[in-house]
Amino acid sequence: MGREWGIWFVFACIWFSSLSFINGDTNAADASALNALYSSLNLSPQLTGWTSIGGDPCGQSWKGITCSDSSVTQINLSGLGLNGTMGYTLSSMTSLIELDLSNNLLGNGSQIPYNLPSSLQRLNLAGNLYNGEIPYSISLMISLEHLNLAHNQLQDSLGDMFAKLTNLSLMDLSFNNFSGDLPQSFSGLSSLKSLFLQNNKFSGQIDVLVDLPLQDLNVANNNFSGSIPDPLKKINNLQTDGNPWSFTPAPPSPPYTPPGRRIKPGQTSGGNSSPAGDSEGEKNSGIGIGGIVGIIASVLVISSILVFFLIRRKRHETSQGNHEEDQHFTSLPSNEVKEMKHIQTSSLVSTNVVQPTTPITLKPPPRQKSFDADDFSTKPVVKVSAPIPIKATVYSVADLQIATESFSIDNLVGEGSVGHVYKAQFSDGKVLAVKKINSSALPNQSSEDFLELVSNVSRLHHPNLTELVGYCSEHGQHLLVYEFHKNGSLHDFLHVSDEYNRPLSWNTRVKIALGTAQALEYLHEVCSPSVVHKNFKSANILLDTELNPHLSDCGLATLIPDPEYQSSENAMGSGYSAPEVAMSGQYTLKSDVYSFGVVMLELITGRKPFDSSRPRSEQALVRWATPQLHDIDALDKMVDPALKGLCPPKSLSRFADVIALCVQPEPEFRPPMSEVVQALVRLVQRANMSKRLSTGDDGQDLQEFTF
Ligand SMILES: *[C@@H]1O[C@H](CO)[C@@H](O)[C@H](O)[C@H]1NC(C)=O
Ligand SMILES: *[C@@H]1O[C@H](CO)[C@@H](O)[C@H](O)[C@H]1NC(C)=O
Ligand SMILES: *[C@@H]1O[C@H](CO)[C@@H](O)[C@H](O)[C@H]1NC(C)=O
Ligand SMILES: *[C@@H]1O[C@H](CO)[C@@H](O)[C@H](O)[C@H]1NC(C)=O
Ligand SMILES: *[C@@H]1O[C@H](CO)[C@@H](O)[C@H](O)[C@H]1NC(C)=O
Ligand SMILES: *[C@@H]1O[C@H](CO)[C@@H](O)[C@H](O)[C@H]1NC(C)=O
């Protein structure tokens, strides 16, 4: 009898312990995010009930966790002496409303992670050790009501990220090291009642706060200047001491206040990337010879006429699709619309909107431009009578000067061989990237050539390409205006040390590889004729707030300096050029595929394609890495240490297989981009399948490989 009870007791124990090992009542994604959080918090003994694997946070009432049904809605771990970080998996907690980690020792020299749940209504990280800047993901938390980041070591100017936070009623950024002007988007904080900015180094004026429903405002101990606007003086609880108010550099301030103008290291890419970097143009040794020029010129003239008629026909066919175009206009800053030249406006309105899904037929990619003057005497005949339809906004030099504060060095976000790139902040709050083309990149400063280029680029549309928004061709100046990607380039994410504290996860790396592969596939196989990128590199892959990739500099190949000016050593030195390019200067679709393989190698190893600081045998990434791609043990050692081993071995080896195909020395053996895309899609699908089998998501992955 006693023995039977004993057996039952053992069974019961086994049953209970197995219960505690599965996720019980709690949503699996939430549970595994908390598992990962627990390990990021160094398994603090304060977190009673918590486990780093499995468990049931809601059912077992883990310390500080509140649930609603089976979802975690609140985390309150305030004042528990916790150290470590928040980890990078919290964003999968889609029901989380409140996150209070205040008064701990979190962050210690690292930045607030960017992937916080966008469902948050209250976020309190006050009294920790975070430094760096506020992550841009805050701009997506449209339900946010309370934001408290006081008493950390946050610094730099605030990004212009507040436009959508219309429910925010309390914001406390006091006792940090913030500097710069208050961003323009503060004016959109239409519910803001309490604002605490004291004890920072903010400067500029506070006019942007004038229309907010403030009841408490503390701006004490900063570097604010100008005068306190009258409406603000009526606020009940107002503190303004400790500022040099009267100090006004120029008496009346212009109505336009330039918002935060910091260059953050992550942004440099916006520029590096944008000027078509360092690759070479097509080889054109024979072009100087008069006869050939004549032939090419007449071919060009004839094809321009043909294209002109084709476009006109297309325009007629689609003259009903103009509403879309009008909508596009209404979203533009009104002053820019006004500034548009008449001719271009009309051609713009009548241009066909190219649907991203339909195959696009482009004109032949712009050819080499170094023709004789003879050549140009014939070209204008065609072009003047046939203005090229361009679907892009025309900006004036004056517009762009205001938006970039006269191309001030503070707004410089990148330099390349084609020109400099500036962050441009328009008075309506819109932020764009302006690429100022060097006059040397456009031979003969021909506006016709430039417009042709703009026309071609403006017809490229793909979710993974950086969109051209507008251009400016005035007074001999040539500028391209692009969307701005706040998160900078892949190059900076992988190689700039300031970014060390936000390593890209394996899943994100795969996502970036797949997205850029699709962008190249589009250029190579959807556009007709194909567009060779010629300058594919990690600095030309820009990341948006969700770390989706956007390939930049598409269609700018002709702006790149002639091969003569660039020794083949340089081409080798960048580490991206296929061997046949270094030898012949000939770029092809297959040389793009090679460069794509090199970027995949960067993603997997975290190394630069060419790194002179490494031992000689490891300097050239392709030479060092390719012999090891098929050896699983070697592959493990080669993986970017920043991943801390958090990548599934199967996924890794499939990724390596794709790389090996792309970087083959013989161009004819490299696969077309569509095959690369398919291989990566299969990789992602299999990864998802095995994830589902193990009931996890990101967090589950982490467990699997941490423990
Ligand atoms: C961080 O917290 C863990 C667990 O509480 C503790 O063991 C460790 O010593 C702490 N580290 C530091 C640097 O305080
Ligand atoms: C979190 O817990 C602390 C201490 O237990 C408490 O003071 C604080 O009000 C709580 N935060 C929220 C938002 O409930
Ligand atoms: C913070 O980091 C420093 C140096 O990295 C270390 O000495 C210190 O113990 C850390 N403090 C905490 C609370 O983790
Ligand atoms: C903002 O607050 C209002 C009123 O509380 C609410 O109805 C609305 O859903 C909130 N907006 C968002 C985006 O959460
Ligand atoms: C604040 O920033 C300044 C530079 O702007 C720096 O010199 C200073 O050390 C920072 N202070 C703290 C406490 O981080
Ligand atoms: C304060 O702001 C003025 C301009 O308004 C600037 O010249 C000065 O350098 C700032 N001082 C500090 C300490 O940041």
Residue 698 has pLDDT above 60, yes or no: no
Q: Which ligand lies nearest to the CA atom of residue 79 in the structure? A: 2
What average pLDDT does range 361-367 have in this prediction?
33
What average pLDDT does range 482-510 have in this prediction?
83
Q: What is the pLDDT of residue 487?
A: 85
Task: State pLDDT tens for residues 440-480.
Answer: 777 666 788 888 889 889 888 888 999 999 999 888 889 99
Residue 315 — pLDDT band, cuts 50, 70, 90?
very low
- Using CA atoms, how far apart are residues 368 and 136, in angstroms rounded to an integer? 41
Nearest to 256 by CA among 299, 207, 296: 207
Nearest to 206 by CA among 237, 183, 179: 183
Q: What is the pLDDT of residue 365?
A: 32
- Using CA atoms, how far apart are residues 573 and 280, in angstroms rounded to an integer? 13
Residue 358 has pLDDT above 70, yes or no: no
Q: What is the pLDDT of residue 678?
A: 87
Task: State pLDDT tens for residues 250-296.
Answer: 433 333 333 333 333 333 333 333 333 333 333 333 333 433 444 44
Is residue 111 within 8 A of residue 502, CB to CB? The reply is yes
Q: Is 155 in the pocket of ligand 5 (CB under 6 A)?
A: yes
Q: Is 108 in the pocket of ligand 3 (CB under 6 A)?
A: yes
Copy the structure tokens of residue 414.
């990148």
Exposed / middle / buried, residue 36 (Cβ in 10 Å: 0-12, 13-18, 19+): buried
What average pLDDT does range 397-410 have in this prediction?
90
Q: What is the pTM of this model?
A: 0.47
Q: What is the pLDDT of residue 114?
A: 66
* Helix 373-385 and helix 447-457, axial crossing angle in degrees, nearest 10: 60
Residue 423 has pLDDT above 60, yes or no: yes
Give the β-pairing of 153-156 and 177-180.
Answer: parallel
What lines the ligand 6 site, CB under 6 Å? 201, 203, 223, 225
**Ligand 3 center to 106 CA (angstroms):** 10
- The CB-side HSE value for 8 (13 A sphere, CA atoms) comes to 5
What average pLDDT does range 361-384 have in this prediction?
30
What average pLDDT does range 575-586 have in this prediction?
83
Residue 527 has pLDDT above 70, yes or no: yes
Choosing from 108, 129, 152 the residue with most ligand 3 atoms within 8 A of its CB, the one to mutate for a pocket test is 108
Q: What is the pLDDT of residue 701?
A: 36
Chain-centroid distance, C-alpha 267:
9
Copy the structure tokens of residue 576.
């991206």
Choosing from 46, 76, 104, 147 the residue with most ligand 2 atoms within 8 A of its CB, the one to mutate for a pocket test is 76
Q: Is 143 in the pocket of ligand 4 (CB under 6 A)?
A: yes
- Using CA atoms, how far apart are residues 68 and 97, in angstroms rounded to an integer? 11
**Ligand 5 center to 216 CA (angstroms):** 27
Q: What is the pLDDT of residue 142?
A: 93
Residue 679 has pLDDT above 60, yes or no: yes
Residue 156 — pLDDT band, cuts 50, 70, 90?
confident
Question: Considering the chain, what is the average pLDDT of its residues?
Answer: 75
Copy the structure tokens of residue 200.
């920072």
Q: What is the pLDDT of residue 26?
A: 84
Task: State pLDDT tens for residues 298-314.
Answer: 444 444 444 444 444 43
Chain-centroid distance, C-alpha 476:
31
**Ligand 4 center to 71 CA (angstroms):** 20
Q: Is 177 in the pocket of ligand 5 (CB under 6 A)?
A: yes
Residue 110 — pLDDT band, cuts 50, 70, 90?
confident
User: Facing residues of 194 across strands?
Assistant: 170, 216
Q: Which ligand lies nearest to the CA atom of residue 106 in the structure? A: 3
- Using CA atoms, how far apart are residues 560 and 562, in angstroms rounded to an integer? 7
Q: Which of 82-96, 322-336, 440-454 has the lowest mean pLDDT?
A: 322-336
Residue 371 has pLDDT above 60, yes or no: no
**Ligand 3 center to 198 CA (angstroms):** 27
Q: Is 76 in the pocket of ligand 2 (CB under 6 A)?
A: yes
Residue 400 — pLDDT band, cuts 50, 70, 90?
very high
Q: Which residues contact 185 (CB under 8 A, 6 or more apart)?
A: 160, 161, 162, 163, 259, 429
Task: State pLDDT tens for residues 47-73.
Answer: 999 988 888 999 888 999 999 989 999
Q: Is 108 in the pocket of ligand 1 (CB under 6 A)?
A: no
What average pLDDT does range 380-406 have in this prediction?
69
Q: What is the pLDDT of residue 657?
A: 94
| Domains in the chain, CATH or no CATH each | 27-239 (3.80.10.10), 388-484 (3.30.200.20), 496-707 (1.10.510.10)
Q: Which of 13-27, 396-410, 545-559, 635-649 has the lowest mean pLDDT?
A: 13-27
- Using CA atoms, how far apart are residues 586 and 23, in angstroms rounded to an integer? 57
Q: What is the pLDDT of residue 161?
A: 84
Q: Is 145 in the pocket of ligand 2 (CB under 6 A)?
A: no
What average pLDDT does range 378-393 have in this prediction?
47
**Ligand 2 center to 64 CA (angstroms):** 9
First to last CA, the chain: 42
Residue 215 has pLDDT above 90, yes or no: yes
Percent above pLDDT 70 for the chain = 70
**Ligand 2 center to 180 CA (angstroms):** 32
| DSSP E strand boundaries for 272-401 | 393-394
Q: What is the pLDDT of residue 685?
A: 81
What average pLDDT does range 554-568 have in this prediction?
62
**Ligand 2 center to 213 CA (angstroms):** 27
Q: What is the pLDDT of residue 247?
A: 53
Q: What is the pLDDT of residue 690?
A: 67
What are the distances in angstroms from CA 196 to CA 104, 146, 148, 385, 471?
21, 12, 9, 60, 40
> Look-up: residue for tokens 């005068």?
227
Q: Is 66 in the pocket of ligand 2 (CB under 6 A)?
A: no
Q: What is the pLDDT of residue 290?
A: 39
Q: Is 13 in the pocket of ligand 3 (CB under 6 A)?
A: no
Residue 497 — pLDDT band, cuts 50, 70, 90?
low
Instruction: Indicate the residue type of 313.
Output: R
Residue 344 has pLDDT above 80, yes or no: no
Choosing from 47, 83, 106 the residue with most ligand 1 atoms within 8 A of its CB, the one to mutate for a pocket test is 83
**Ligand 6 center to 162 CA (angstroms):** 24
Q: What is the pLDDT of residue 696?
A: 38
Q: What is the pLDDT of residue 498?
A: 65
**Ligand 2 center to 75 CA (angstroms):** 10
* Cis peptide preceding 529, ω within 30 of 0: yes
What average pLDDT does range 214-223 have in this prediction?
96
Is residue 467 within 8 A of residue 423, CB to CB? The reply is no
Q: Is 42 in the pocket of ligand 3 (CB under 6 A)?
A: no
Residue 16 — pLDDT band, cuts 50, 70, 90?
very low
Nearest to 220 by CA among 238, 237, 241: 241
Q: What is the pLDDT of residue 241?
A: 92
- Using CA atoms, how far apart are residues 588 and 578, in angstroms rounded to an integer? 10
Q: What is the pLDDT of residue 571?
A: 46
Q: What is the pLDDT of residue 36?
A: 83
Q: Is 166 in the pocket of ligand 4 (CB under 6 A)?
A: no
**Ligand 3 center to 88 CA (angstroms):** 20
Q: What is the pLDDT of residue 692?
A: 59
